[in-house]
Structure 1
Amino acid sequence: MNVQKEIDRIKLDDKVLGMPWFVQQFIDYKLPDLSPSTLLEYVRDYETFFNWLRAEGLSSAAENKEVTLQELEVLRMENVTSYRIFLTTKREGTNSRITVSRKLSSLRSLFHYLSQIAEDEEFYPLLKRNIMAKIEIKRIHKPKDTAAKLKGKILEEDELLEFIGYILEGYAKDVENNKQALYAHELNKERDASITSLILNSGLRVSEVVNLNIDDIDLNNKMLYVYRKGNNDETFKTPVYFREQAKDDLAAYLNLRQTRYKAPKKEKALFLAVANGQNEGRRMTKRAIQAMIIKYAKRFGKPYLTVHKLRHSFATDYYLQNDIYKTKEQLGHASTETTEVYAHLTDKTMSEAIERRADD
């Protein structure tokens, strides 16, 4: 199991203890098909919903794990409407339309399981009446809408190389009067450039970068082996190719990884960081990589650039030279529908992309 999944599995096992027995049963049912990360989001969504039920007096439970099936059965449409309003208008942590849609979808999955799949001892459904079956959840995340939001917020053409060069050299000039920032940059510039270059030359997700081990790299063949999102076979790593540029940047980092980050022999992680007060390097976290990219992006004059937008930057550039199917495979998308974002971001038209799909 990859590193992030291990962390999320531990969190999931802990959080599910605070859920009603029927939610625990649902999570067990879904474990073979969905990742611990996805199921953890489900449980967090149920936590929000059960907290709201109790606050509104729609459940007499003293804590979430005491919410009953009977209390779910008697919910009315007006209750679901009120919950939707609560999600969109609450003062703290207001949810976007996409997040609200996802939270309602999580509930639909649970209610569907309870009413259509799970049975009691007499073979009757656990939930006799499913109010969530009446809720229509419209698709919000359309490729052309996503593309419109990304316009001007990703790196294009020569900017891909310029950003890597800025991390290696330009940033130091911008912080030359800040000794602490300058020291940290001198220590980590090769690592930071290597991470950035790898994403911009392969399209890896940040979670895939975090999970990389030394043994996952084949520099000679410009190939990596990664745990792909959605693949629940814990023994299989997908081969992913990267460009020549990333090979040079990776080699520069690998030459100093051991000496500069003082990695213990048992540490297999590719990308390391030495925490304050520590003497040995440890695997970089997702949050550390995200913060690192944001730091450089602001100074580079691209404040909207994030680590995920580096992936979008690669994908847009890659799609210009390849068809929609090759782009889908390189990015590890489950469907070409997701990949269509890049048809909208380039000069290629959707009709071209669709024709190519028909040919393939």
Structure 2
Amino acid sequence: MNWYQALKDFKEHLQIERGLSTNSIESYSLDISKLINYLEQNDVAVSPTKIEREDLQNFIYEVAKLLNARSQSRLISGLKSFFNYLIFEGYRDANPMELVESPKIGRKLPDTLSLPEIDRLIAAIDLSTNEGERNRAIIETLYGCGLRVSEVINLRLSDLYFKEGFIKVTGKGNKERFVPVGEITQQYIEEYVSNTRRNVPVKPTFTDIVFLNRRGRMLTRAMIFTIVKNLALVANLQKNISPHTFRHSFATHLLENGADLRSIQQMLGHESITTTEIYMHVDKSHLREVISNYHPRSNY
């Protein structure tokens, strides 16, 4: 087995067996491609089934000069997954990455926006343009429902269950979940669909997609990032924000206002509640209130 065949098979495994998104598969592929390039450039003639820890450690040592600790950690995790796949398929008996340690990194706390800052961003949208109503609906959906950017661009008209107060979201690994949608978010989506969207020349492939570009095609992740960055400039918001910032703000504001962590986990589509627990840092006063209100010793 050569490296390119192994990489091709691994990508098919990630897509078919694990159901990962295109972005996740490309991320894994990039990790393996970096290793392949390193081996070729250094004339290391060893197959995926024979490579040992020493060669991999040399590779990681060289790559570490170019990557920060978080990127190194992700690379090591990707390589471990690749060799675990080879073990699963019976090509190897052991994982050569097993004893390779990832660099220690602190947990990055998410950036958030206050409600007045979100209102400033929305107020900065030029509703006189053809894209104004669409962009307002996108921002409200990111914040009002806590969606990932990939979930927003893939949202379909057939996923909108407004009478029931929910939207159906397809998240990571093609896992579906129902997320409550508030009246304001619903109103802005309906206004966009009824007004701006109906005048867009929709391409046949995208007739069910909610948010479209001016040519009637699905928006890209990069376009959503650009929309958010431009709005931050217009609103003179002195923060480095992205579409994901609205998702963080959604979870943070829910927690600050008394929502329980399990409910937030379900709405965000986190597989593990430990991922959701990152938001517990935000409002220490909320934790004090929990003790004050619910602990039997609080009134002594």
Q: What TM-score results when the alignment is normalised by the length of structure 1?
A: 0.71
Displacement of 1:264 in angstroms is 4.8
Structure 2 counterparts to residues 60-75 of structure 1, below 5 A: 68-69=47-48, 71-73=50-52, 75=53
Structure 2 counterparts to residues 93-172 of structure 1, below 5 A: 95-114=67-86, 116-119=87-90, 126-127=91-92, 130-137=95-102, 140=105, 142=107, 146-147=108-109, 150=110, 153-168=111-126
Task: Mark the CA change 1:268 to 1:141 in structure 2 (over 3 Å): closer, same or farther.
Answer: farther
Distance 1:158 1:72 in 2: 55
Q: Residues 109-142 of structure 1: CA distance to partner in whole angstroms, max 9, x if unpaired?
A: 222333x4333xxxxxx33564312212356353
2:75 is equivalent to residue 89 of structure 1? no
Q: Which residue of 1 aligns with 2:137?
A: 194
Amino acid at match of 2:209: A
3-state SS of 2:178 partner: strand
Structure 2: gaps of 5 or more residues: 295-300
Aligned residues, how many? 286
Displacement of 1:333 in angstroms is 0.9
Distance 1:283 1:28 in 2: 25
Structure 1: gaps of 5 or more residues: 1-17, 60-66, 120-125, 170-184, 275-279
Task: Mark the CA change 1:36 to 1:196 in structure 2 (over 3 Å): closer, same or farther.
Answer: closer
Displacement of 1:68 in angstroms is 1.8
Task: Mark the CA change 1:36 to 1:229 in structure 2 (over 3 Å): closer, same or farther.
Answer: closer
Displacement of 1:53 in angstroms is 1.2
Q: Which residue of 2 aligns with 1:245?
A: 184
Contact 1:297 1:306 in 2 (8 A): no
Q: Which residue of 2 aligns with 1:272?
A: 212
Distance 1:69 1:270 in 2: 44
Of residues 241, 246, 249, the one that matches 1:305 is: 241
Q: Which residue of 1 aligns with 2:195?
A: 256
Q: Which residue of 2 aligns with 1:176?
A: none
Task: Mark the CA change 1:259 to 1:314 in structure 2 (over 3 Å): closer, same or farther.
Answer: same
Q: CA RMSD in A?
A: 2.8
Displacement of 1:316 in angstroms is 0.8
Distance 2:210 2:193 in 1: 8
Contact 1:112 1:133 in 2 (8 A): no
Which stretches of structure 1, 4 residues or longer, exceed 6 Å deviation after superposition?
Answer: none
Displacement of 1:46 in angstroms is 0.5
Contact 1:212 1:269 in 2 (8 A): yes
